[in-house]
Amino acid sequence: MKQSDEIWWRHGVFYQIYPRSFQDSNADGVGDIRGIIDRLPYLQALGIDAIWLSPVFPSPMADFGYDIADYTGIDPLFGMMADFDDLMSAAHASGFKVILDLVPNHTSDQHPWFVESRGSRDNARRDWYIWHEPAADGGPPNNWLSEFGGSSWTFDAATSQYYYHAFLAQQPDLNWRNPAVRHAIHDVMRFWLGKGVDGFRVDVIWHLIKDAEFRDNPPNPHFREGRPPHEKILTRYSTDQPEVHEVIAEMRRVIDEFDDRVLIGEIYLPLHRLVAYYGNDLGGAHLPFNFALLSTLWSARSIEKIIADYEAALPAGAWPNWVLGNHDRPRVASRVGPDQARVAAMLLLTLRGTPTFYYGDEIGMHQVAIAPERVRDPFEKNVPGIGVGRDGCRTPMQWDATAHGGFSRAMPWLPLPDDFVHENVVNLEADARSILSLYKALITLRRKLLPLRSGDYVPIAAQGDLLLYRRQSEGQAVVIALNLGDQPVSIASGAAGLNGDILLSTFLDREAEKVDGTLDLRGNEGVMIGV
C-alpha cells in the first residue's frame, strides 16, 4: 500500500480540458486531440499534474459529445485513435495523468444498442434501456422531467411504449438494473484502462439507478420562477437511489484491477449525501466531486461553513476535493468578479484535498455573452430566456492576439470575447503579476510545501470578509488569509498566529515581507504566510 502522499490523485492538480475549445490543429474551427498535444508544453509550464478530457468519442453531437454512439472509438472531429494513442504517450512522457469522461447513464439514440432496443419489444437489448407502458390516459408513465426541458419520457410509436431520458430525447438512459449493461460498461472501462488511461470522471453518476416502482417525484416547495422548469419537482425517485452504491462499488472493482487509477464521480448533491459516494469502507468513488464552490454565496462565512461541514462529514480515510469551474457552470471570474478570481485561486489551491480547475480560469476567462444566432447549447435552445446556456463558459481558449485568439485559423465554433486581444496567454505570461503568474506560483508552492499537499486543515476564527485557516504537517505550517471583500482589513497577527514571512500575495508583490504584530490586507487580497 502506498503512503497517502505518494498517491498521485491525492497530491495532484487536475485541469479540465473541453476539447472542442482548447486548440484546433486542422483549421475546422473545432479543437481536437492534436491541438491538445501541441499545447502540452503550456500545461507543463503551468504545473498541473492531470488532464481531464470531456468526451472525444463518436457522437452525433446533440449534446456535444455527451451523447455517445460508440464507447470505444474517437470521433473524427477530434482525430483518430492513433491521435489519442499519441496523446497518451506524449502526456505520460511529460509527466501527466489522463482522465477520460465516462458517460454511462445514457447513450446516443444512434448507438447500436439503442437502435436494437427500439427495434421491437422482444429484442434482446430491449431491457438495456428504460421502457415503460403509457399511463392510463396514454401520456407519460410519471411526472419525471428532463433537465433539458419537458417530460423525460418520449413515446416510440413503433412499439407503443415510452423510453426514459434524463436529458435530451436523443440521450436515452441505460437500464443499470440489467447486469448485461453493467458488464458492457465494465468492458468499456477495461478497454480504455488497457490503453493506459489513468481513470475516469463518471458523468451524472448519481443518476444511474432509478426507482424500481417509477413513483412520481414530489413537487419542489422552494421552486422560484425564472429557474429551469425541471426544478419544479424534486428528483427523489429519479436520482440518488440506494442501489446506486452497489453499481459504483462494481465500477471501483474494475478500476482496482489496474494499478494507480482513479474513479471520480460527478455528483450534484448536498454535502451529507455527497459523501455517501465514497462507499462503504471507501469502496466507492475515490473522489466524489465536491461542487460547493460553484454555487455558494461568495462570502467568508458561507465558505467557512461549507469547509467545516464538508470536513466534518467526510468518512474516515476519505480524501476531500474541490472544484472551481467546469463546462456546465458560469466562469469563476464572472461568478465572483475578476478581482476575487485571484482570491478564489488561492482558496482552491490551498484547501485540503485535490483541486480541479477549468481551462482558461488560469487566465481569467469570463462568461461570454452569446448572440441568439450563435447559440449552440441544446439546454439554452430548449429553455430559452432564463440564462441557462452553457456556451458562454465553453468559448475557445485565448492563446494570443492573432485572429481567433490563436485557437484556430478558421472561424471558431463559438465566438471569442473582444478582450482576447489583451487577455491571452502570451500577454499574461509576459506579466509577472498576472493571474496566470499567480496560478503558476500557487501550484509551485503547493508542490513544494508538504502542508499544502497533505497537511491538516485547521480553521482560525475570523469575522467580516476575512477567511483564515492553517495547513499544517510534521511541524511545518502555512497560514492562509483571504479578504473576500473589496475594503482593506487589518488583523492583530499575534493573536491569530499569523506572525511569519509572506510566501505569496495574490497581487504578487509582497513575497518575503515579514508579518509581526499586524497583517494588513488590501481589498480583494489573499496571502500565504509561512509561520
Domain of 319, CATH number, reads 3.20.20.80
Tell whether 420 and 503 lie within a shared domain. no
- On the question of pLDDT at 3 being above 70, the answer is no
Residue 116 is among the residues annotated as catalytic for this protein:
no
Q: How many domains does the chain have?
A: 2
**Is pLDDT above 90 for 2?**
no
Question: What pLDDT is stored for residue 400 in this prediction?
Answer: 98
> Domain range spanning residue 377?
4-104+179-214+244-441
Q: 99 lies in a domain?
A: yes
Q: Are residues 436 and 298 in the same domain?
A: yes
Report pLDDT for 6.
82
Same-domain status, 63 and 87? yes
Residue 219 in domain: no
pLDDT in tens, 41-70: 999 999 999 999 999 999 999 999 999 999
Residues 35 and 81 in one domain: yes
- 153 within a domain of the structure (yes/no): no
Say if residue 417 is in the same domain as residue 517: no
Q: Does the pTM of the predicted model rise above 0.85?
A: yes
For residue 111, pLDDT over 60 is answered with: yes
* The predicted structure's pLDDT at residue 195: 98
- Which among 386, 413, 441 is the end of a domain? 441
Dump pLDDT digits (tens) for 155-206: 999 999 999 999 999 999 999 999 999 999 999 999 999 999 999 999 999 9
Which one is catalytic: 32, 203, 304, 361? Answer: 203
| Domain-embedded: residue 296 | yes
381-393 pLDDT tens trace: 999 999 999 999 9
Domain boundary among 414, 441, 468: 441
Same domain, 346 and 464: no
**Domain shared by 328 and 429, yes or no:** yes
Helix (H, G, I), strand (E, B) or coil at 304: helix
For 435-450, write each residue's pLDDT tens digit: 999 999 999 999 999 9
Question: Are residue 501 and residue 427 in the same domain, yes or no?
Answer: no
437 and 460 within one domain: no
Of 133, 243, 257, 419, which residue is the catalytic one?
257
Residues 437 and 492 in one domain: no
Determine contact, residues 110/69, Cβ cutoff 8 Å.
Answer: yes
Any catalytic annotation for residue 257? yes
Mean pLDDT of 4-18: 92
Residue 5 has pLDDT above 80, yes or no: no
Q: The domain that contains 520 carries what CATH number? A: 2.60.40.1180
Query: What percent of the chain shows pLDDT beyond 90?
Result: 97
Q: Using one digit for the tens of pLDDT, what is the confidence trace for 17-46?
A: 999 999 999 999 999 999 999 999 999 999
**374 with 460, same domain?**
no
Helix (H) or strand (E) holding 504: strand 500-505
Write down the mean pLDDT value for the chain.
Answer: 97
Residue 77 in domain:
yes
Task: Please check whether residue 326 lies inside any domain of the structure.
Answer: yes
Average confidence (pLDDT) over 121-140: 98
Domain shared by 424 and 463, yes or no: no
Whether residue 407 is contained in a domain is answered as: yes
